Amino acid sequence: MGMVETLISKAFQTALLMHKQKIASHTYHLKLKLASGFANYLPGQQLRVFVGLDNPLNVNDLLRTYSVWHYNPATLEADLAVCTFSKGKGAAWAEKIQTGETVYFSGPKGRFVFDRSAAAYLFLGDISALAPLYELARQVEPGQSFRGFVYSADESDFFMDGFSGNQFKFIKAVDYQSCTIIQELNGLQLPATNTITYIAGEAAFCKDLHDYFHKTLCWDARQIKAKPFWHSNKKGLE
């Protein structure tokens, strides 16, 4: 192990990549075997993954954020779904990493987590947010209900939740994604109370949808959980 790797392994937690599979046109499923279990994991949280081992001097390209798709504390396995639409350092890391290699990460952390207080849930986002939205949907209990909508330009980008068989509704949206999703929502006659919506993905989409629920439908802000995952023309958002 080189000096840089030794330093990184002291600063980060480690896992081995057990399994890697391309599950959609722009998404890899990465299954990690953790060296030790997550401390206080809450569904919806994310990891900061070290993606810059090949050029550790480039500080903008050292870390990228990926949410946990599924976590099994009994087997110490955690799953990520990493998209490659961005063609940046994170995408290149996901393309390149091989099973048996070490993954360095910190976390999990984050407040985009499940709020059990509602009777119904709505999950909205793009493909980069599909795995964590599925993870949140798996927390919905019997007696509660949910619906999910995810958009992309091409249906070959879509994947189902391999851990539940859940499948959100796919919406083909090339441009004006917010308008297309809002059109779909207008037809749903959503109950104004006792429903929580989770919105994740591109920053402008999150803002438009937050405004739609808060300003147009007059939902209470506590019913709207929005988390921008990426911002056009901005590298590694968090």
Ligand X SMILES: Cc1cc2nc3c(=O)[nH]c(=O)nc-3n(C[C@H](O)[C@H](O)[C@H](O)COP(=O)(O)OP(=O)(O)OC[C@H]3O[C@@H](n4cnc5c(N)ncnc54)[C@H](O)[C@@H]3O)c2cc1C
Q: Does 232 bind ligand X (CB under 6 A)?
A: yes
Q: Does 86 bind ligand X (CB under 6 A)?
A: yes
Q: Could you tell me the two tokens for 130?
A: 């599909």
Q: Does 215 bind ligand X (CB under 6 A)?
A: no
Query: What per-residue string of b and e applies to 21-50 under the rule 16 or more CB within 10 Å gives b?
Result: eeebbbbbbbbbebeeebeebbbbbbbbbb
Segment (H or E) for 27: strand 27-34
Q: Does 131 bind ligand X (CB under 6 A)?
A: yes
22 and 28 Cβ atoms separated by less than 8 Å: yes
33 and 136 Cβ atoms separated by less than 8 Å: no
| DSSP label at residue 216 | I
Nearest approach in angstroms of CB 1 to ligand X is 25
Helix axes 177-186, 203-211, angle to 10 degrees: 30
If the CB atoms of residues 19 and 231 are measured against ligand X, the closer one turns out to be 231
Binding test (CB under 6 A) with ligand X, winner from 79, 121, 128, 196: 128
Binding test (CB under 6 A) with ligand X, winner from 44, 52, 90, 125: 90
Nearest approach in angstroms of CB 235 to ligand X is 4
Q: Does 43 bind ligand X (CB under 6 A)?
A: no
Nearest approach in angstroms of CB 137 to ligand X is 14
Q: How far apart are CA 203 and CA 126, in angstroms?
A: 11
Q: Does 41 bind ligand X (CB under 6 A)?
A: no
If the CB atoms of residues 113 and 217 are measured against ligand X, the closer one turns out to be 113
| DSSP label at residue 204 | H
Nearest approach in angstroms of CB 145 to ligand X is 24
Binding residues for ligand X, how many (CB under 6 A)?
A: 29
- The CA angle 71-156-133, to the nearest 5 degrees, is 30
44-83 footprint of ligand X as x/- string (CB under 6 A): --x-----------------xxxx-------------xxx
Q: Which residues bind ligand X (CB under 6 A)?
A: 46, 64-67, 81-83, 85-86, 88-91, 110, 128, 131-132, 227, 229-238
